[in-house]
């Protein structure tokens, strides 16, 4: 430790902001000596460690900024439980080619069928590929836009949204908006057309979107843009939540009826 070279090296690594190399160089140097490794191999190992932590930190930051409500990965999605969802299409969406092509994706289906889970899983995979993603609910986004509008900073909010590679808008259709709210949402969707991707989840079939966007003309214009280059996945079947709670109930009932059967 008292070696002046070692102290200078530590100071340099600190100044150059290489914290992983600072933490690991001693240990890696000992290993390199033991293996009689070339200088270049040691340097490579050391820089690899720094690059690996930086990559991991960048991914963690992207996931934080994306603001997913819960972290749900695609590998916990049971495709056999929701056979209407084509697994290959979902895995393809997770590979991100559609983001480069500025395409959109719509997940349509009733409550509890796995729309939010899939949207989150795809979003997480894209964060890991270095994409800038943000998850919002439709209601949350409209509130944010309305507040920005009232505080005369709508342009800034729109510019921030515009920098995202993917905007995930969850739960479109659960609430309808005021005319001005619907217009603001329309503006965001229309701005992204052929420039940036959108992933929308909705419990409403397209034919009923007029109730959210108030007015056939705005709805038609919006759907025209949104679905022009779009993967549309329709999720059918029973709610996964409902099925799980029914199963839990059945297990409970089976457990409570067992002892009485045993008495007989
Ligand atoms: P939706 O957004 O369509 O209402 P969610 O994605 O919130 O539904 O799903 C409800 C719950 O059921 C969540 O906890 C989700 O993780 C789970 N779930 C739904 N479908 C599946 C599935 N096929 N495999 C595993 N979990 C699922
Ligand atoms: Mg949901």
What is the tens place of the pLDDT at every residue in 153-189?
Answer: 999 999 999 999 999 999 999 888 888 999 999 999 9
Residue among 150, 198, 149, 201 nearest 172 (CA): 201
CA of 137 to the centre of ligand 2 (A): 9
Q: How far apart are the first and last CA of the chain?
A: 78
Residue 120 CA: which ligand is closest? Answer: 1
User: Nearest residue CA, atom 4 of ligand 1?
Assistant: 112
- Choosing from 112, 119, 243 the residue with most ligand 1 atoms within 8 A of its CB, the one to mutate for a pocket test is 112
- Distance CA(230)–CA(212), nearest Å, equals 20
Mean pLDDT of 116-144: 97
Task: Say how far apart CA 60 and CA 127 lie, in whole Å.
Answer: 9
DSSP 131-170: --EEEEEHHHHHHHHHHHHHTT-HHHHHHHHHT-SEEEEE
Å from CA of 219 to ligand 2 middle: 22
Q: What is the pTM of this model?
A: 0.87
* Span 204-221, pLDDT tens digits: 999 999 888 878 888 898
Q: How many whole angstroms separate alpha carbon 79 and alpha carbon 16?
A: 47
Question: Cα(94)–Cα(30) distance, rounded to whole angstroms?
Answer: 41
| Among protein residues, the one whose CA lies closest to atom 1 of ligand 1 | 112
């Amino acid at each position: 430790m008292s070696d002046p070279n070692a102290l200078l090296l530590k100071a340099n690594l600190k100044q150059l902001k290489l914290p992983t190399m600072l933490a690991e160089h001693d240990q890696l140097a000992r290993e390199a000596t033991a293996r009689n490794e070339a200088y270049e191999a040691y340097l490579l190992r050391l820089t690899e460690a720094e690059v690996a932590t930086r990559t991991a930190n960048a991914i963690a930051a992207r996931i934080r900024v994306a603001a997913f409500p819960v972290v749900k990965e695609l590998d916990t999605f049971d495709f056999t439980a929701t056979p209407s969802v084509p697994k290959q299409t979902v895995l393809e969406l997770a590979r991100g080619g559609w983001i480069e092509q500025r395409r959109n994706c719509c997940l349509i289906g009733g409550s509890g069928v796995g729309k939010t889970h899939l949207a989150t899983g795809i979003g997480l995979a894209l964060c890991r590929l270095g994409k800038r993603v943000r998850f919002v609910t439709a209601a949350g986004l409209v509130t944010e836009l309305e507040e920005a509008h009232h505080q005369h900073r709508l342009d800034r909010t729109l510019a921030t949204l515009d920098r995202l590679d993917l905007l995930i808008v969850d739960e479109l259709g659960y609430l309808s908006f005021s005319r001005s709210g619907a217009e603001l949402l329309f503006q965001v969707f229309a701005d992204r057309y052929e420039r940036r991707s959108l992933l929308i989840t909705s419990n409403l079939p397209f034919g009923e979107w007029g109730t959210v966007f108030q007015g056939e003309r705005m709805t038609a214009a919006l759907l025209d843009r949104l679905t022009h280059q779009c993967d549309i996945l329709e999720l059918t079947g029973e709610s996964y939540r409902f099925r799980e709670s029914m199963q839990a109930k059945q297990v409970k009932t089976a457990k409570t009826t067992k002892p009485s059967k045993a008495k007989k």
